Chain A
Amino acid sequence: MKKRAVRQAARFAFLLASAVLLSACVTREPFIPAHLPAGAQTSVELDATPFFPQDKYQCGPAALATVLVASSADTTPEALVPVVYLPARKGSLQVEMQAAPRRFNRLSYSLSRNLESVIEELAAGRPVLVLHNYGLSFWPKWHYAVVIGYDAATDKFILRSGKKRRQEWRARTFMVAWHHGGRWAMVVLRPGETPASADPTLYLEAAADFERGASPADSRLAFDAAVQRWPAEPVAWIGRGTAEYRAGNFSGAARDYAAALRLDPNNVGARNNLAQSLLDLGCPAQALEQLQAVKIDALASPLREAVLDTRKHIEAAVTSTPVVDPIRCPSQL
């Protein structure tokens, strides 16, 4: 009986040893050079990225503090423990890691799940928060770390991780852990910054999430950056329009909503907001004109209620101020 166990252990050790030896002979082609986007430097290390050694189980707060402070937000891992740490899970969840930067007036953006995006952000000077899995699918061991650089010549990534200020990882090893962690990566942005690797839809989603708690001025910065970079995206114009509206600049808002409608004439949200802005400008007749073609019955909640509400206010205003002020009310939008 005992003999058999020993034999089995020996066989396993032999297999493992031969696999190790084999791995020494097999050199697979370097990884980073093959995934280096055009124009990116061959080697980057963001030395100035702060380092916060983690406490037990608290790589979440530590990694989050690293990227937040790198984007000049004022915080510490200790301050982030009550924000993202879940005692019973002995860790932090991705959803909360992503929501937290908004509390510090930052946008969080999840990268597309490929290595090129990570490298592009690093090349643009932005550290990248990643989720690693050192376990197996049925026995996962999750860990957050921050990538601060790469070197195509040695095929290595450089990380701030756990209690290590500077850790070099072979690119393939990094990829195994990142791949088994779902290839999740995020960056933190100041209002007005867009990620180097940004996808417009993903960025606009992040900006819309940011809008809810942000000041009109910061919200304007976030959407203005989108208008500059993707002028063909109606949502970029809508977002900037809403920031203008909240700041009390109704004519600016009307202009932006009108621009969104030129790109997407069937966007009822934009039309509703344009009508509201015209009403606030004191132009109820023009506001009403905007809503006339909208088939309210075909709309889903809560947009339906919003349009009904806007129309009610406009109709009340039309009867009380029937005269159109030609100076204030734009004839051409």
Chain B
Amino acid sequence: MKHSPWRKFAVGILSVAILNMGMMGAASAGVVDTAELVTADRAADMSVVRSQLDRAEVRAQMEKMGLDAAAVDRRVASLNDRELHRLAVDMQNAPAGGDAVWLVGAVFIVLIILELTGVIDIFKKT
């Protein structure tokens, strides 16, 4: 049985939406979450639709980046809307801390020397 990519996409979005509805109902019986009140004045554009699109985007990118489906589920579930949005926007280029490679250290040493000799001064701002 073969499904069109469009159908897969639609089913994906829907299942996320349904899952979300379940979570909302269970999490707060009556009172509004503090998180919503903290961010309400700052990010009024945080719509439910956008957060679902963000979620789908992050999920797709994580799978592309070599994570298995179970890990992706857990990782996406542990992020809030704000975090999902940051990842959805910038997952390819955001700083990814990895190794302290000392090959590049050469470049770094030049930077430090420039700083020490006063050619550049990064601390002026503080």
Contact = CB atoms under 8 A, between A and B. Distances in A.
Contacts of B18: none
A224 to B, nearest CB: 13
Interface in A217-262: 223, 235, 238-239, 241-242, 245-246, 253
B97 A131 contact: yes
B31 A23 contact: no
Interface string B23-34: 000010011111
B90 to A, nearest CB: 9
A99 B34 contact: no
B33 to A, nearest CB: 7
B5 interface: no
A143 interface: yes
Interface string A289-301: 0000000000011
Interface string B77-108: 01110010011000100111111110011011
Interface residues of B, number: 54
B97 A211 contact: no
A91 to B, nearest CB: 3
Contacts of B111: 136, 176, 180
Interface stretch (A37-45, A66-74, A190-198, A267-275): A267-275
Contacts of A90: 96, 98-99
A276 B116 contact: no
A23 B108 contact: no
Contacts of A161: 100
Given A88-B64, A139-B107, A172-B112, A302 B36 contact: yes
B16 interface: no
A96 interface: yes
A86 B65 contact: yes
Given A100-B78, A134-B105, A95 B94 contact: yes
Contacts of A95: 79, 83, 86-87, 94
B48 interface: yes
A269 B36 CA distance: 9
Given A57-B98, A91-B96, A136-B111, A212 B33 contact: yes
A301 to B, nearest CB: 8
A302 B37 contact: no
Contacts of B122: 175-176, 179-180
Contacts of A97: 97
A205 interface: yes
Contacts of A173: 112
B38 interface: yes
Contacts of B96: 60, 86, 89-93, 142
B126 A212 contact: no
Given A141-B104, A177-B108, A93 B32 contact: no
Pairs of residues from A and B, 4 with the lowest C-beta to C-beta distance, nearest first: A91-B96, A91-B98, A87-B66, A88-B65
Interface of A: 16, 19-20, 22-23, 26, 28, 31, 35, 54, 56-60, 63, 82-83, 86-100, 102-103, 114-115, 131-136, 139-145, 161-162, 172-173, 175-177, 179-182, 184, 204-205, 207-209, 211-213, 223, 235, 238-239, 241-242, 245-246, 253, 267, 269-270, 272-273, 276-277, 279-280, 300-303, 306, 310, 313
Interface of B: 27, 30-40, 44, 47-48, 62, 64-67, 71, 74-75, 78-80, 83, 86-87, 91, 94-101, 104-105, 107-108, 110-118, 122-123, 126
Given A92-B98, A223-B34, A276-B30, 12 more contacts: A23-B116, A86-B96, A91-B98, A92-B96, A93-B94, A95-B86, A99-B79, A136-B111, A141-B100, A143-B100, A212-B33, A212-B80
